Amino acid sequence: MKTEILAIGRHPEILQTVVRLVNNNPEWNATGAGTDDEAILAFSAQPFRLVLLGGGIEKESEDRLCAAFRALNPDIIIVQHYGGGSGLLFAEIYQALN
């Protein structure tokens, strides 16, 4: 069974790239969301194990998202990803999951 990952980002091109990179790993399945509402809707609709917060998310949005996700799943893993290439992205995910 694949690990479900919700990737949230404000820059559509970067978000698409992150989702594509995550989905290159056969053990993971990423869903992308560009807005707070999209992210909360997606999180409510399926069980995610990990949330990736991309760059460009304002502190206010980050607080709102984290509170909403933890209300639905207190055990959710939330990782901030600011870029740096696929190697760093994979390392962040592996480290968070283990």
Specify if 75 maps to a domain: yes
Q: Which domain holds residue 79?
A: 3-54+65-89
CA–CA gap between residue 47 and residue 3 (Å, rounded): 9
* DSSP letters spanning 25-41: STTEEEEEESSHHHHHH
Specify if 94 maps to a domain: no
The domain tally of the chain equals 1
Specify if 14 maps to a domain: yes
Render pLDDT for 61-97 as a digit per residue (tens, 0 to 9).
999 999 999 999 999 999 998 777 778 899 999 999 9
Specify if 95 maps to a domain: no
Render pLDDT for 25-40 as a digit per residue (tens, 0 to 9).
999 999 999 999 999 9
Specify if 73 maps to a domain: yes
